[in-house]
Amino acid sequence: MSDTSYDTSYIRLIEEISLNAWPSHKMELYDGWLIRFSHNYTHRTNSVTQVSASLIPVEEKIAYCEKIYENYHTPSIFKISPLIDPGFDRLLEQKGYEIQHTTQVMIMDFHDFRPSPAISAEYEYYGRNSGLPSFVVYPGEVIVQLRDRITEEWIHALFRLNGTTNPTLRRIVPSMFKAIPKETIVASIEIDGRMVASGLGIMDRGHVGIYAIYVDASCRRKGFARGICSTILTEARKKGATRAYLQVVQGNTFAQKLYSSLGFTDLYTYWFRVK
């Protein structure tokens, strides 16, 4: 097997498990295209992803998807990954679709993992929290709390961190988080009872995906994101994960440097075409 074919097969795996990790509010499978709709919460959950071979002419399919999103009163968005025929991207460009949210997918083999060293960890009684510690302590009084499930409290604190104020999104997004079908590692850092940093690990087929890394603006440059990532990755490795992946928007140089320092390297880039 050539390096190119290996890369393609591995990219396909990452695309598949990332779809599992982040369900949409509504989904429709149409001739090998997955049409996802979530009131425009994120491009990933509100776009068309090609998942298998197609039979219907592409122009007809694009028109169908445009009508679907028109009925939803949101823009038509198509995800473009290395698995997509470059001619499809050019066709969308000719139709007036613009590139948005160019994203770098990074991966890590746990042999390359360089975590921050923890000072201590506190466990509850046996059988509670799916074997996760209740909290892990790092230098600088960084205390990462862990839970094995996503709670309403964590979601609403996340809304405050990422600025989600739209009433419709605040109503539907909790159900999207709760629809995640895989084992989760839910992380947070609190100050005076208020969550100031968050993170989410999602397990699937020997991998852990890193999601929802947010830090309150007043608490940045204190090692909170590094502590949360180190904790999620360390616990995922204990649970049998051998690799990790994450997605970071191009231009977020601080996050990219953090992830590189933990052991992540670039795998591929994807972007969205938006009309």
What proportions of the chain, in percent to the nearest 5, are helix, strand and coil?
Answer: 35, 30, 30
| DSSP code at position 94 | H
- For the domain made up of 108-267, give the CATH fold: Aminopeptidase (3.40.630)
pLDDT digits (tens, 9 = 90+) for 65-76: 999 999 999 999
pLDDT digits (tens, 9 = 90+) for 4-48: 445 899 999 999 999 999 999 999 999 999 999 999 899 999 999
Question: Per the confidence metrics, is the pTM higher than 0.85?
Answer: yes
pLDDT digits (tens, 9 = 90+) for 94-135: 999 999 999 999 999 999 999 999 999 999 866 678 899 999
Distance of alpha carbon 252 from alpha carbon 97, whole angstroms: 24
The residues spanned by each domain of the chain are 3-106, 108-267
Name the nearest CA neighbour of 121 among 95, 154, 144, 103: 144
Name the nearest CA neighbour of 157 among 130, 193, 126: 193
